[in-house]
Amino acid sequence: MDVDALIEGFEYDLWANLLWVEPARRSGQEDLFRHILAAQAVWLARCRDVPIGAATEGDLEEIARDQSGAWISYLRAADPGSPIRYRREEKDFVNPIHEIARHVVNHGTYHRGQMRGVCGERGIEFPETDFIRFCREREQG
């Protein structure tokens, strides 16, 4: 897997997360948004083989920027095919970095989709954060 493609995933994820900060607050979904950010921290800790400290208290934009920056720095120095061994729910697992990185980005997309559904039901405006929209906006500068 191409490292640049993985990094692009986290660039997209940050773009989408920053657009969702305010709608998450307005719709009462800040906890779900923090869950997205906490999962990023947990998976990065697993990849780095360091204790998991997924504190996500504080400014959501700052946390989102920090998490994405940390992932991008990690990916620049990593071999995407390197296996990561971790334990979850009393079971041992092994996945290469590229699978974990893609999972983390997809996890955020999944939960932003959930938030979109809630916002729609409550009549709260929400951003369109499809990947192709990110690509179009990036190309337009």
Residue 31 CA to residue 51 CA, distance in Å, equals: 22
Residue 73 CA to residue 30 CA, distance in Å, equals: 26
Q: What is the pLDDT of residue 57?
A: 76
Residue 74 CA to residue 55 CA, distance in Å, equals: 19
Per-domain residue ranges of the chain: 3-140
pTM of the model: 0.94
Rg of the chain over Cα atoms, rounded to whole angstroms, equals 15
Q: What is the pLDDT of residue 141?
A: 78
Residue 75 CA to residue 48 CA, distance in Å, equals: 11
Q: What is the pLDDT of residue 56?
A: 67
Tell me the per-residue pLDDT of 54-89, one tens digit each, with 9 for 90 and over.
Answer: 666 789 999 999 999 999 999 999 999 999 999 989
The answer to whether the annotation marks 35 as part of a ligand binding site is: yes
CATH code for the domain defined by 3-140: 1.20.120.450
The answer to whether the annotation marks 103 as part of a ligand binding site is: no
Tell me the mean pLDDT in the region 103-130: 97
The answer to whether the annotation marks 98 as part of a ligand binding site is: no
CB burial readout 31-49, b (16+ within 10 A) else e:
ebbbbbbbbbbbbbbbbee
